[in-house]
Chain A
Amino acid sequence: MFDFLHNPQYDVLGAFWTTVQLALWSAAGSLVWGTVLAGMRVSPVPLMRAFGTAYVNVVRNTPLTLLIIACSLGLGQTLGVTLGGGTFDQTGFRLAVLGFAAYTGTFVCEALRSGINTVPPGQAEAARALGLSFFQVLTLVVLPQAFRAVIAPLANVLIALTKNTTVASAIGVAEASLLMKEMIENEADALFAVFAVFAFGFTVLTLPTGLLLGWTAKRMAVKR
């Protein structure tokens, strides 16, 4: 039943490795971008707050498929943005990471913002009273406490992101779900076996993420 796994034309591990790379790069990008967005949304500068709010509300309400295709067709093919990728595949991968980071950053931002709300206002007041600048108050006192409060919700975002990477198949990035489509075409007689293989593969990626971050959340919790 699982004979197709031995067929050398299918590189299942290679496809999942691409998925892992997509997820990791996008996670890093969305954490950075989400933190910047959260900083904007709590900043004292009205223009930055307005930009942060508008960006989050537009991007998180846009279908991810639309964003990824817009990155590929709009940025890549129309405007000629390659992000330094030499080959077609490299460029596609990088544009997909850009799209995922732009999208997932909004969820990271909102999770962080709820974390910022768990930090008592007195913490920031005490930091300001010492003479720390807004940026220092945010990075030294508020965000470190906010991050610890939102590790569990961030794990959700990371798990959703890992599964969302399947959307990259829409622009031809050779990750797991693209291979799955190919297998469904060619191995129609083993359809459920194909599904099982990929479901198992994603579970292997996301289950430990959730468990590990859940454990970390407990360990890192700020005691008040």
Chain B
Amino acid sequence: MSAVAITRGGPGSLPATGGLVELSGVNKHFGALHVLQDVNLSIARGEVVVVIGPSGSGKSTLCRTINRLETVDSGTITIDGRELPSEGRALARLRSDVGMVFQSFNLFAHKTVLENVVLGQVKVRRTDKATAERKARDLLDRVGVGSQADKYPAQLSGGQQQRVAIARALAMDPKVMLFDEPTSALDPEMINEVLEVMQQLAREGMTMVVVTHEMGFARSAADRVVFMADGRIVEEATPEEFFGNPRSDRAKDFLSKILKH
């Protein structure tokens, strides 16, 4: 871990100017579907925000707007005080500061595990190859797949691939990490190995936005739970409050469906 710098500081160290990630008045439509409706969200440096909600509630879309993989129709999104550029090099530079982990891993299929973690460092950060490889191997060791460095993604299990994807994102020294349902495509026995890496990241003070259906992770790692339904943020609370005493009917209904079997 020593070689890898990550953002330090808990929720208490919030700068006066506002959160590290700020969404205000964000609206987005997919055709007739109003998928994000006036979303306001502020994420402090070092905070772990878990976004939960039923399918189609817009939580993945929300996550993807933060690095502009989805454009927004109106509203503003700022990261570290700077508004998201609409395109071009400025947007690319900003994206390099925002790590993203996808549901379907999306490792580069024609490159080895090591090359996957090296690519961004060399091509975006202009790090020299030897340094980049050293850092890549450190990160792969840290997420527990160091022995797989020379294999291709298709030769790895889903859990291993997802941990490589986390290492690939961390290699850019991101200010914030976005996780878009990182365990939803995994077999049950592989979910924990990925969640453990995420828990560790959270403990080390990484700013994280996690869209997930893993309520256990939300309880144990989140500083704040954001509950979305029908494109709106319905409820925001600490995990104890949210799971123990949800205020809205929508959240009560959702929790009753997922917690009782």
Contact = CB atoms under 8 A, between A and B. Distances in A.
A145 B106 CA distance: 13
A132 B119 CA distance: 9
A136 B120 CA distance: 10
Interface of B: 67, 69, 87, 89, 92-100, 102, 104-110, 119-120, 123-124, 152, 154-155, 165, 168-169, 172
Contacts, number: 70
Contact of B89 (A126, A130, A133, A222): A133
Contact of B67 (A122, A127, A129, A222): A129
A144 interface: yes
B108 A126 contact: yes
Contacts of B87: 44
B74 to A, nearest CB: 21
B102 A126 contact: yes
Given A122-B106, A127-B108, A129-B99, 17 more contacts: A122-B102, A123-B108, A125-B69, A125-B102, A126-B100, A126-B102, A128-B95, A129-B67, A129-B169, A130-B96, A131-B92, A131-B172, A132-B123, A136-B123, A145-B110, A223-B154, A223-B155
A144 B119 CA distance: 14
B168 A130 contact: yes
A224 interface: yes
Contacts of B154: 223-224
10 contacts: A122-B105, A125-B106, A126-B107, A130-B124, A130-B168, A131-B120, A132-B124, A136-B123, A144-B110, A224-B154
A49 interface: no
Question: Contact size class for A?
Answer: 20 to 34
A123 B106 contact: yes
A69 interface: no
A126 B99 CA distance: 10
Interface string A196-224: 00000000000000000000000000111
A145 B104 CA distance: 18
B69 A133 contact: no
B110 A132 contact: no
User: 10 tightest A-B contacts by CB?
Assistant: A131-B96, A126-B106, A130-B120, A122-B106, A129-B100, A223-B154, A131-B124, A131-B95, A131-B92, A222-B109
B210 to A, nearest CB: 16
A141 interface: yes
A191 interface: no
A141 B108 CA distance: 7
Nearest to B89: A133
A97 to B, nearest CB: 31
A223 B108 contact: no
A148 interface: yes
Interface in A103-157: 120, 122-123, 125-133, 136, 140-141, 144-145, 148
Contacts of A132: 92, 120, 123-124
B253 to A, nearest CB: 32
Contacts of B152: 223
A130 B95 contact: yes
A120 B98 CA distance: 22
A145 B92 contact: no
Contacts of B98: 129
